[in-house]
Chain A
Amino acid sequence: MAVENPLGDAVITTKLDAFIGWARKWSMFPYPFVTACCGMEYMSASAARYDLDRFGAAWPRFTPRQADLLLVVGTINHKLSPVLKRVYDQMCDPRYVVAFGACTVSGGPYDNYAVVQGIDNIIPVDMYIPGCPPRPETVLDAVIKLQAKIQNSPQEM
């Protein structure tokens, strides 16, 4: 670091964006929007064995107004889609959306009259997790990639 630092190790210098990004990526409060069998894998990923808490994303908030991370876990059909849109609209910025499992990514095996063919038709998605259902390792990989995305993006304040 080129900045002269007369205080030695007592102070570190950084950029504001990097500092806020670091804080945000380690304190994601997830809102689990669980509708189907992928919920089992979400439970597994968040419980002790795989432990989402290692990434600061353990504490589910069951109100979108207190959540940063919308985990859409399971099939979303057209009848339900206004509810998902409303939950997303109630979240405060910065907010992130993870499409968890094949159904949320593309409709999965359900290419029919009832199911939304990918939740990105309804809300913007930051991270897509494939799998039917995805293994917890895949979920952790997505969370780590989302952390990198948060860290490396300009922070809105």
Chain B
Amino acid sequence: MSELLTIPLLQELFGETILESHAHRGDETVIIPPQSLEEVATRLQQDERLRFEFLMDLTAVDYLHLDRPKRFEVVYHFYSLTHNRRLRVKVRVDDGEPVPTLALLWKTADWFERETAEMYGIKFAGHPDPRPLLLYPEFKGYPLRKDYDQRASHPLVESRRKGESA
């Protein structure tokens, strides 16, 4: 099961759009620019040879301390039930740069994108319901960013201990 199945096909279909690719023990990864995400994702879901029906996970990584040209990577894990194959797609974006939503193609993307948006401050353009998922409206900041103050908290009830935050 170590032969590459998906990467060559994607390279054939999209050519230069596939910026980078690698595979580790049969787990294939491709990196694409955010403006091609919708096109590639639609193909991944609908092409007979790909058929990635299931978006298993969607999250982001903050590479603040690695001095990359783009600060964040948004990571998508796809699984094809038809072909029993997995694919990881990464999109590199900078702070404030929008990523197109996949919530209209995979319903699982809806909540994943809401969580990623509130935790990392990544904008998902065209999301049908862009409210925070877990955090409350009074919460300030994006807690999974590397530069988030570890001691910060946003209590809803005033602390009984004087001069201390909850």
Interface residues of A (CB under 8 A from B): 78-79, 81-82, 85, 111-114, 116-117, 120-124
CA distance A85 to B153 in the complex (A): 18
Residues of B within 8 A of A124 (CB): 160
State which of A79, A111, A112, A122 has its C-beta within 8 Å of the C-beta of B166. A122
Q: Which of B117-166 contact A (CB under 8 A)?
A: 134-136, 143, 148, 150, 152-157, 159-161, 164, 166
CA distance A111 to B151 in the complex (A): 8
State which of A79, A112, A120, A123 has its C-beta within 8 Å of the C-beta of B156. A79
State which of B136, B150, B152, B157 has its C-beta within 8 Å of the C-beta of A85. B157
Residues of B within 8 A of A111 (CB): 150
Overall SS of chain B's interface: loop
CA distance A157 to B40 in the complex (A): 73
Q: Known interface pairs A78-B154, A79-B136, A116-B155. Does A121 touch B143 (Cβ–Cβ under 8 Å)?
A: no
CA distance A112 to B141 in the complex (A): 13
CA distance A111 to B150 in the complex (A): 8
